[in-house]
Structure 1
Amino acid sequence: MNTKNDEHLYSLALSLIPKIGPSVYKNIISYSGSAQNFFNLAPGKAAKIPRIGSKLLELLRQKNQYLAQAEKLILQAEKLNVKILTYASTEFPKRLKSIEDSPSVLFVKGNIDLNANRLLGIVGTRNATDYGKTVTRKIIEEVAPFQPVIVSGLAYGIDIEAHRAALQHDLPTVAVMGSPIDKIYPYQHKNTAEQMLETGGLISEFRPGSDMVPGNFPQRNRIIAGLSDALIVVEAAKKGGALITAEIAFSYNKEIFAVPGNLQSPYSEGCNQLIKTMKANIYLGTKDLEEALSWSKGSEDQENQPVAFSLENISDEHRPIIAAFLENPEQQIDQLSWITNIPISMLASSLLQLEFMGLIRSLPGKTYKLVK
């Protein structure tokens, strides 16, 4: 194997080790520089990495077992025409890299650009009313000139309505699945899922052949929230997946919109409550999206345009940090440490200085954003 494929193998193997969740995984990458480096560390050096306990070090001694599992999984994915994106992959969604609890590995099927300029999440109740379905189709029709990727969850109700409307308007659409990538759920949506593969597709953090667990579905909602530049909740009851997704998006500092509904409809209670508590803006039309996201028809949104910024007046100490922000204007500190190869303790001090200089600003979740 060449070095690139070796790193892909080691990154996948690292994700297969029990007790290594997304945050520990990213912590390891940040301190080691790469998954391959971590596997080759002496036990004494590995033990110095924060959050690495004795049980994890014991599992690390079984690295050949996890590398073999990773090789098997890569072959399995190739047979299914599934692409594996690890946190170290260049194609891994940049929007998720800035989120602490985002997955360390994604399984992807179809032709998806997960780093497209505009990603719009649309979610809602599984028990959609005629009003909710009509509004969903209307939203898709009105946003079509802006050419966003439509993100939803392939569930009954609002989700599948959003996917199908996107297909009708030739918009790429992505389903974030709560099931393994090789198991379409619900099965009744299999035809729609297959149609989505041409210009969009399916993504899951659950590897092929794994079991379907009810808890997977609430868990996948954080991916919908993290991928979306803005989230529109069309219909939602007092409790349910759509409200969970909205709450997560709120914690990620995303733009959230809720469609107001009939006060007597139980499936509008959630939306109306989001508006009342000011966790979501009221959605009245695409003008709201244009203003919130600086969208304009026929051109890329300003948020994802390259920032006009010169490195000439930046000190050598801060130059690699600003250069990383120019590649991706929003960065999570662990990811930034990995990119710049600057220890987190030193990086935190530099980020504070840059914030005082008015060049960046801090966001929730140990995330920083370049100021234009």
Structure 2
Amino acid sequence: MTEQDLIYILALQNVPNIGDIIAKRLINHCGSAEAVLKEKLSNLLKIDGIGKITIKHLHESSHLAEAEKELRFIKENNIKTLYFEANNYPKKLKHCIDGPILLFQSGNIDLENQHIISIVGTRKITNSGIAFCENLIEALAVYNPIIVSGFAYGTDITAHKAAIKNQLQTIGCLAHGLNTIYPKVHKKYMVDVEKNGGFLTDFWSSDKFDRNNFLKRNRVIAGLSEATIVIESAEKGGSLVTADIANSYNRDVFAVPGRTTDSQSVGCNNLIKHQKAHLLNTPLDVPYLLNWQLEEKTPPTIQKQLFVELDSDEKIIYNYLKDSNKEQLDTIAINCNLPVFKVSSLLLNMELKGVVRPLPGKLFEVV
């Protein structure tokens, strides 16, 4: 994409009444953003779904002037641009009808990883929610997923920090331009996020900060990922909007259940009740339902050193399975007197070491 191409794409993005769906329709018809902006209005009106109100501002010269200003900001700040027809555009987002025609990126994002999940939830996350989120990401680390969230208070920043702690790539999807950060208190995490991933947004540096931006931002969070996980949510909230968007994209949605008396579990319980989300009971549910596979291992040399590598809890599980043959996760947890979430994490680690293997029906056995 040349600099001139980018200016015209930015100019088209700046036209009022033309959103991403209409912009794509116009580009597909005319061949490029430049061709759209130079086409006669009378010809564009022949396109299905294009009316006079939609394109009445199309030929105003201010769009190119504003585009040149934004281009200067992009160049001065080494921002990467991702155009929806280019190879570097997120593959999963390409399949979303309302995906942005242009994204702005900072950091070191590598979208070649096929395991991309979004983790969202309330800003008023409980201690239990924090623990579940941290344990979930720690347990999934062996699959090397990319963790996507919105860099907001509560669940979002918990997910980003846990990803960094486990040396996983993480992406913050912003509801504003890359010239600022919200909330300001999270500025201290920006360097670590950009080292371990980065930020994406479709908002310009000149866009005004608006609450509605967060809802628009949520389509990027849902669209980037193969699955969206809701950790906690009240009866209403932005994370439920993200879950609805993910469902509209035919993506998997997971929700962590909670007690009916817990205000921050109402949203998750409703998602499960209305069959809009898989019930997420343990971290193992994610790779199991998404059919993630660990890379092939060569266990013979490892098996000679099994007990050197196992910690005390892993030894308890190993010895129990050795005597019991095959058992389900919950049964293992009960008989080993360990929390279910911890057992699921330990089993993943033991699977990576070549000690145990999963079987259909959520059973596990010693290798």
* Fold shared per TM-score above 0.5: yes
Aligned to 1:169: 166
RMSD (Å), alpha carbons: 1.8
Displacement after TM superposition at 1:132 (Å) = 0.2
CA distance in 2, matches of 1:291, 1:130: 26
CA contact (8 A) 2:17 2:55 kept: no
Note the 1:24-39 alignment, pairs <5 A: 24-39=22-37
CA distance in 2, matches of 1:287, 1:98: 28
CA contact (8 A) 1:83 1:109 kept: yes
Identity across aligned pairs (percent)?
39
The CA deviation string for residues 223-249 of structure 1, in whole angstroms up to 9 with x for no partner, is 111111111111111111111111111
Note the 1:282-361 alignment, pairs <5 A: 282-298=279-295
Residues 241 and 56 of structure 1: CA distance in aligned 2, closer, same or farther (over 3 Å): closer
CA contact (8 A) 2:18 2:55 kept: no
CA distance in 2, matches of 1:270, 1:150: 22
Aligned to 2:176: 179
CA distance in 2, matches of 1:42, 1:222: 32
More divergent stretch after superposition (215-224 vs 114-123): 114-123
Displacement after TM superposition at 1:42 (Å) = 3.8
CA distance in 1, matches of 2:65, 2:84: 19
| 1:238 aligns to 2:243 (yes or no) | no
CA contact (8 A) 2:164 2:196 kept: no
CA distance in 1, matches of 2:276, 2:57: 43
Residues 127 and 32 of structure 1: CA distance in aligned 2, closer, same or farther (over 3 Å): same
| 1:135 aligns to 2:99 (yes or no) | no
For residue 150 of structure 1, the aligned residue among 147, 152, 172 is 147
Residues 235 and 182 of structure 1: CA distance in aligned 2, closer, same or farther (over 3 Å): same
CA distance in 2, matches of 1:258, 1:221: 17
CA distance in 2, matches of 1:239, 1:42: 45
CA distance in 2, matches of 1:43, 1:209: 28
For residue 190 of structure 1, the aligned residue among 178, 187, 194 is 187
Aligned to 1:320: none
CA distance in 2, matches of 1:58, 1:259: 47
- Long gaps (5+) in structure 2: 297-367
Aligned to 1:350: none
Aligned to 1:67: 64
Residues 121 and 39 of structure 1: CA distance in aligned 2, closer, same or farther (over 3 Å): same
Displacement after TM superposition at 1:215 (Å) = 1.0
Residues 235 and 41 of structure 1: CA distance in aligned 2, closer, same or farther (over 3 Å): same
Residues 286 and 152 of structure 1: CA distance in aligned 2, closer, same or farther (over 3 Å): same
Aligned to 2:335: none
CA distance in 2, matches of 1:26, 1:11: 11
Aligned to 2:82: 85
- Long gaps (5+) in structure 1: 300-372
Displacement after TM superposition at 1:281 (Å) = 0.7
Displacement after TM superposition at 1:219 (Å) = 1.8
Residues 271 and 67 of structure 1: CA distance in aligned 2, closer, same or farther (over 3 Å): same
The CA deviation string for residues 145-174 of structure 1, in whole angstroms up to 9 with x for no partner, is 111110001111111100000000000101
Displacement after TM superposition at 1:55 (Å) = 4.6
- Give 3-state SS (helix, strand or coil) of 1:291's partner: helix
Residues 103 and 57 of structure 1: CA distance in aligned 2, closer, same or farther (over 3 Å): closer
More divergent stretch after superposition (257-266 vs 149-158): 257-266
Aligned to 1:12: 10
Aligned to 2:278: 281
More divergent stretch after superposition (223-232 vs 111-120): 111-120
More divergent stretch after superposition (276-285 vs 86-95): 86-95
AA of the residue aligned to 1:196? V
Residues 154 and 35 of structure 1: CA distance in aligned 2, closer, same or farther (over 3 Å): same
Q: Which has the larger radius of gyration?
A: 2
The CA deviation string for residues 316-358 of structure 1, in whole angstroms up to 9 with x for no partner, is xxxxxxxxxxxxxxxxxxxxxxxxxxxxxxxxxxxxxxxxxxx
CA distance in 1, matches of 2:40, 2:270: 54
Residues 262 and 28 of structure 1: CA distance in aligned 2, closer, same or farther (over 3 Å): same
Displacement after TM superposition at 1:134 (Å) = 0.2
AA of the residue aligned to 2:215? P
Displacement after TM superposition at 1:79 (Å) = 1.6
- Give 3-state SS (helix, strand or coil) of 1:183's partner: coil
More divergent stretch after superposition (154-163 vs 261-270): 261-270
CA distance in 1, matches of 2:57, 2:267: 44
CA distance in 1, matches of 2:196, 2:75: 19
For residue 116 of structure 2, the aligned residue among 116, 119, 138 is 119
CA contact (8 A) 1:175 1:201 kept: yes
More divergent stretch after superposition (99-108 vs 251-260): 99-108
AA of the residue aligned to 1:189? H
